[in-house]
A and B are shown apart, each in its own frame.
Chain A
Amino acid sequence: MSKLPSYPKVSNLNDLLAIAYQIEIDAVDRYNLLADQMETHNNPELVKIFRDLARAEGIHGEEIRRLAGDFDVVAHARAMARVKHGESPEEADLGSAHYMMTPWHALQLSLGGEERALAYFTMIVETAKDEKVKAMAAELVEEEAEHVNLVHRLLKRYPKPSENWADDLDPPASQE
Chain B
Amino acid sequence: MNAEMPLACKPGDYKSAVKPIWCPGCGDYHVLMSFTRAFAQLRLPPEDVVVVSGIGCSSRIPAYTNCYGFHGVHGRSLALAAGLKVTRPELTVVVASGDGDGYSIGGNHFLHACRRNVDMTYVVMDNHIYGMTKGQPSPTTEPEFDTALTPGGTGVRPFHPLVVALASGANFIARCFSGDPNETADVLVEAIKHPGFSFVEILSPCVTFRPDEKAWKDMVRVAPVPATADQGKAARRLMTDDGFNLGILYRGSRKPYRPAVGANNFDLAELEKDFEL
Known contacts A87-B181, A95-B179, A172-B134; A41/B24 CB under 8 A: yes
Give the tally of cross-chain contacts (CB within 8 A). 74
As a 0/1 sequence over residues 145 to 176 of chain A, the CB contacts with chain B under 8 angstroms (1 = contact) are: 00000000000000000000000000011111
Q: Bound complex: CA of A175 vs CA of B151, how far in Å?
A: 13
Q: Bound complex: CA of A34 vs CA of B26, how far in Å?
A: 12
Q: Is B48's CB within 8 Å of the partner chain A?
A: no
Q: Which of A29, A95, A101, A174 contacts B27 (CB 8 A)?
A: A95
Within 8 A of B (CB), among A1-19: 1
Which A residues lie within 8 Å of B222 (CB)? Answer: 1
Known contacts A1-B221, A94-B25, A99-B24; A174/B183 CB under 8 A: no
Known contacts A84-B182, A85-B182; A176/B25 CB under 8 A: no
CB distance from B227 to the nearest CB of A (A): 18
Which B residues lie within 8 Å of A122 (CB)? Answer: none
Q: Is B217's CB within 8 Å of the partner chain A?
A: yes
Q: Which of A82, A87, A96, A172 contacts B25 (CB 8 A)?
A: A96
CB distance from A13 to the nearest CB of B (A): 25
Q: Which of B10, B30, B148, B182 contacts A78 (CB 8 A)?
A: B10
Which residue from chain B places its CB closest to the CB of A84 in the assembled complex? B182
Q: Is A52's CB within 8 Å of the partner chain B?
A: no
Q: Bound complex: CA of A34 vs CA of B182, how far in Å?
A: 19
If over half of B's interface residues share one DSSP class (helix, strand or loop), that class is named, otherwise mixed; here it is: loop
Which B residues lie within 8 Å of A101 (CB)? Answer: 24
Q: Contact: A98 with B24, CB < 8 Å?
A: yes
Q: Bound complex: CA of A82 vs CA of B24, how far in Å?
A: 25
Q: Is B103's CB within 8 Å of the partner chain A?
A: no
Give the number of residues in B that approach A within 8 Å (Cβ atoms): 33
Q: Contact: A95 with B208, CB < 8 Å?
A: no
Which A residues lie within 8 Å of B182 (CB)? Answer: 82-87
Q: Bound complex: CA of A94 vs CA of B28, how far in Å?
A: 10
CB distance from A47 to the nearest CB of B (A): 12
Q: Bound complex: CA of A9 vs CA of B7, how far in Å?
A: 27
Which A residues lie within 8 Å of B207 (CB)? Answer: 95, 98
Which A residues lie within 8 Å of B25 (CB)? Answer: 94-98
Q: Is A136's CB within 8 Å of the partner chain B?
A: no
CB distance from B15 to the nearest CB of A (A): 10
Q: Contact: A172 with B180, CB < 8 Å?
A: no
Which residue from chain A places its CB closest to the CB of B29 in the assembled complex? A94
Q: Contact: B179 with A1, CB < 8 Å?
A: yes
Q: Contact: B134 with A95, CB < 8 Å?
A: no
Which B residues lie within 8 Å of A85 (CB)? Answer: 180, 182-183
CB distance from A2 to the nearest CB of B (A): 9
Q: Which of A39, A172, A175, A176 contacts B19 (CB 8 A)?
A: A39
Q: Contact: B149 with A95, CB < 8 Å?
A: no
Q: Bound complex: CA of A94 vs CA of B217, how far in Å?
A: 12
Seen from chain A, the residues whose Cβ lies within 8 Å of a Cβ on chain B are 1, 29, 33-34, 36-41, 78, 82-87, 94-99, 101, 172-176
Given known contacts A36-B20, A84-B182, A94-B29, what 9 new A-B pairs fall within 8 Å (CB)? A1-B217, A41-B24, A85-B180, A94-B30, A95-B25, A95-B207, A172-B209, A174-B134, A176-B148
6 sampled A-B residue pairs with Cβ under 8 A: A1-B246, A37-B24, A40-B19, A95-B30, A172-B208, A173-B208
